[in-house]
Chains A and B, each alone.
Chain A
Amino acid sequence: MSIANLTSRRFLLVAGLLLLLLVFLATFPLYTSRSDVLVLTIILMYIILTVSWAMFSGSTGYMSLAPAAFFGVGVYTAALLFSEKWALLPLPAVIVIAGIASFVLALLVGLVTLRLKGIYFAIFTFGLVVLIRQLLVFWELQIVGKRGQHVIAVSGDTVYYVMLGILVVTLLTVYLIRRSRLGLAMQSIGGNEEAAAHMGVNTTMVKVLTFGISAIFMGAAGAIMATRWIYVDPVIAFNVFYSFMPVLMAVFGGMGQLYGPVIGAAIFAYTERALRLQSPYYYMLAFGIILILVILYLPGGLVSLVPKLQNKLAGLISKFWKGGKAEQHANT
């Protein structure tokens, strides 16, 4: 069998599995409880945050702690445009505007800060989250005179389907970027930024643009979560937790492949949920231990297990296959 044939068969297999998974996710609310749908909604949200974080930070090596800022901007866009007092726009428009608002913020921040290297960039982006939060607190308390905003409630299933839609768009975009010239440029920046610039890569443009693209999905996810929370205030919306979780989840899953952050976020978010319910006091401890173990023994993340498992599996199958053949011979 030719290699082209094999790869196309592999492609069909992967595409088929993905389609099955999508059908499963799309029909999930039909045969499960409302609380299960909520759990899955939150898992999808973390996958969106993690995949978009890894798209930028994983490939360029610029460690951004800004996800909470972009997520929060999305939340507050919904709070202002989809408020209980005035529903200015339909939900889809609010989601799109939230994405655009985060994109614009990321472009502005990127232009100012992406010349900072390493730890300084991380600190600045972290500061951004706190800065915006405090500005909003000030605005609400001093100018509006009332803390928090009420957002129009949307059914759990709607929230779930919108989140799923955002996830599909995110994954498609990231998949295409990774395979494009832009993806190669980002990778070269992560490899050696100076060399990349001298090979003709407009490093500033590439960094600012991809930082902006990654922020779109975070903002969109924030907007739809706001309709789930109903009441939001700056502390809820700009929770630094949403900056650290994507980093942890991406490291946990492994950043070399697109599916690394997906698997990392899915498993991480699910176990976090389960651990929190079972032992509310010790779940952070258990969490920390799992993380340390992964970083110590699987520096490439969970996905680095895949090739090892594949080899083992292939070994087992060929053994089984040969065994079966021998049996056949014995029978004839």
Chain B
Amino acid sequence: MRILEGRDVTKSFGGLAAVSHVDFHIDQGEIVGLIGPNGAGKTTMFNLISASFPLSSGEMEFKSQKLNGLKPHQVCKMGIARTFQQVKIFADMPVLQNVLVGAFFGTPARVSGSGAAQEASQALDFVGLSAISATPAKDLTLVNQKRVEVARALATKPELLLLDELMAGLNPTEVSEAMGLVRKIRDRGITVFMVEHVMKAIMGICERIMVLHHGEKICEGTPQEIARNKQVVEIYLGEEAHAGS
């Protein structure tokens, strides 16, 4: 079943089309990857889905409901949560308070104080931060700040989770832990759409991958298909391979 569908999704800033005429869909229960070189429009795509700014043209539907014209808080309440490429935690608030914001405001129904507290502590438990729930978020390491973002998003009880470069800046051990976390999230029944540069992660956990280049979707398929695609290897993996050698 399609949980998210975009038709002719386009966003231009002035004359520059950051995302142009992209058709895509996400099925329920999938882990889908979105890759592409820097400036390909991946984060713009996430910003469009989460309503950070409006579409220039085209339309998007979440569970057959139109997303056009909604505000970020409304999209969140519908069941789409996200994390940010550059972490955007509430720095001066303790970890638990950060997650409580999601628990209190992220769902359409009014949540009681004890209900929110329970939801928040479960989310913290899930990402493994229970022990430091009272620490101010700004004092955490990068990997833990990213976990706070995931816990905060999970506390809004999403059906679709957008992860924007969760693995960037993490060391290899942390990357495999994060991969485990993403699988665990999917096993809870939450669909995952992730932007990622860490190839090992994207190839390892995604069932399907879309490739953006200059704002256009150039191909889509299983990790094996993407790895074999000539165009992709040329514009994207090729660069990586050269950089790696």
Q: What is the CA–CA distance of A198 and B88 in the complex, to the nearest angstrom?
A: 10
- Interface membership of chain A positions 199-229, coded 1 if the CB is closer than 8 angstroms to chain B and 0 otherwise: 1111100000000000000000000000000
- Interface membership of chain A positions 230-266, coded 1 if the CB is closer than 8 angstroms to chain B and 0 otherwise: 0000000000000000000000000000000000000
Contacts of B105 in A (CB 8 A): 181, 185, 199-202
Interface size of B by CB at 8 A reads: 28
Among candidates A181, A190, A194, residue contacting B52 with C-beta atoms closer than 8 Å: A194
A199 and B106 form a contact (CB under 8 A)? yes
Q: How far is the CB of B82 from chain A (nearest CB, A)?
A: 6
B101 and A196 form a contact (CB under 8 A)? yes
Q: How far is the CB of A287 from chain B (nearest CB, A)?
A: 29
Chain A interface: which of B12-20, B54-62, B70-78? B70-78
Q: What is the CA–CA distance of A190 and B43 in the complex, to the nearest angstrom?
A: 24
Chain A interface: which of B91-99, B126-134, B170-178, B227-235? B91-99
A187 and B97 form a contact (CB under 8 A)? yes
Answer yes or no: B107 CB below 8 A from chain A CBs: yes
Contacts of B84 in A (CB 8 A): 194-195
With contact pairs A185-B105, A187-B97, A198-B50 given, residues A192 and B90 touching in the complex (Cβ less than 8 Å): yes
Contacts of B50 in A (CB 8 A): 198
Contacts of B93 in A (CB 8 A): 187-188, 191
Among candidates B71, B81, B89, residue contacting A192 with C-beta atoms closer than 8 Å: B89
B101 and A184 form a contact (CB under 8 A)? yes
With contact pairs A187-B90, A191-B89, A194-B52 given, residues A199 and B71 touching in the complex (Cβ less than 8 Å): no
Contacts of B10 in A (CB 8 A): none
With contact pairs A187-B90, A188-B90, A191-B92 given, residues A200 and B97 touching in the complex (Cβ less than 8 Å): no
Answer yes or no: B102 CB below 8 A from chain A CBs: yes
Answer yes or no: B152 CB below 8 A from chain A CBs: yes
A200 and B90 form a contact (CB under 8 A)? no
Interface size of A by CB at 8 A reads: 18
Contacts of A190 in B (CB 8 A): 92
A201 and B89 form a contact (CB under 8 A)? no
Answer yes or no: B191 CB below 8 A from chain A CBs: no
Contacts of A181 in B (CB 8 A): 104-105
B90 and A195 form a contact (CB under 8 A)? yes
Contacts of A176 in B (CB 8 A): none
> How many inter-chain contacts with C-beta < 8 Å in the A-B complex?
74
Answer yes or no: A197 CB below 8 A from chain B CBs: yes
- Interface membership of chain A positions 164-188, coded 1 if the CB is closer than 8 angstroms to chain B and 0 otherwise: 0000000000000000010011011
Q: How far is the CB of A228 from chain B (nearest CB, A)?
A: 39
A201 and B91 form a contact (CB under 8 A)? no
Contacts of B73 in A (CB 8 A): 197-203
Q: What is the CA–CA distance of A184 and B88 in the complex, to the nearest angstrom?
A: 16
With contact pairs A184-B97, A185-B105 given, residues A197 and B72 touching in the complex (Cβ less than 8 Å): yes
Answer yes or no: B100 CB below 8 A from chain A CBs: yes
Contacts of A184 in B (CB 8 A): 97, 100-101, 104
Q: How far is the CB of A325 from chain B (nearest CB, A)?
A: 34
Q: What is the CA–CA distance of A201 and B152 in the complex, to the nearest angstrom?
A: 13
Q: What is the CA–CA distance of A233 and B156 in the complex, to the nearest angstrom?
A: 52
Q: How far is the CB of A164 from chain B (nearest CB, A)?
A: 32
Q: How far is the CB of A158 from chain B (nearest CB, A)?
A: 41
B88 and A200 form a contact (CB under 8 A)? no
With contact pairs A199-B152, A202-B73 given, residues A188 and B101 touching in the complex (Cβ less than 8 Å): yes
Q: How far is the CB of A14 from chain B (nearest CB, A)?
A: 22
Q: How far is the CB of A7 from chain B (nearest CB, A)?
A: 15
Q: What is the CA–CA distance of A191 and B90 in the complex, to the nearest angstrom?
A: 4
Q: How far is the CB of A313 from chain B (nearest CB, A)?
A: 24
Most chain B CB within 10 A, of A185, A194, A195, A196, is at A195
Q: What is the CA–CA distance of A197 and B101 in the complex, to the nearest angstrom?
A: 10
Q: What is the CA–CA distance of A321 and B2 in the complex, to the nearest angstrom?
A: 71
Contacts of B152 in A (CB 8 A): 195, 199
Q: How far is the CB of B115 from chain A (nearest CB, A)?
A: 12
Complex: chain B residue closest to A188, CB-CB: B101
With contact pairs A181-B104, A184-B101, A185-B105 given, residues A198 and B76 touching in the complex (Cβ less than 8 Å): yes
5 more CB-based (< 8 A) A-B contacts, given A198-B73, A199-B156: A185-B101, A191-B89, A191-B90, A198-B76, A199-B81
Identify the 7 closest CB pairs spanning chains A and B, nearest first.
A191-B90, A200-B105, A200-B106, A195-B88, A197-B72, A200-B76, A192-B88
Residue contacts A-B, CB under 8 angstroms, 15 given: A184-B100, A187-B93, A188-B101, A191-B89, A191-B91, A192-B89, A194-B52, A197-B72, A198-B75, A198-B76, A198-B81, A198-B82, A200-B102, A200-B107, A203-B73
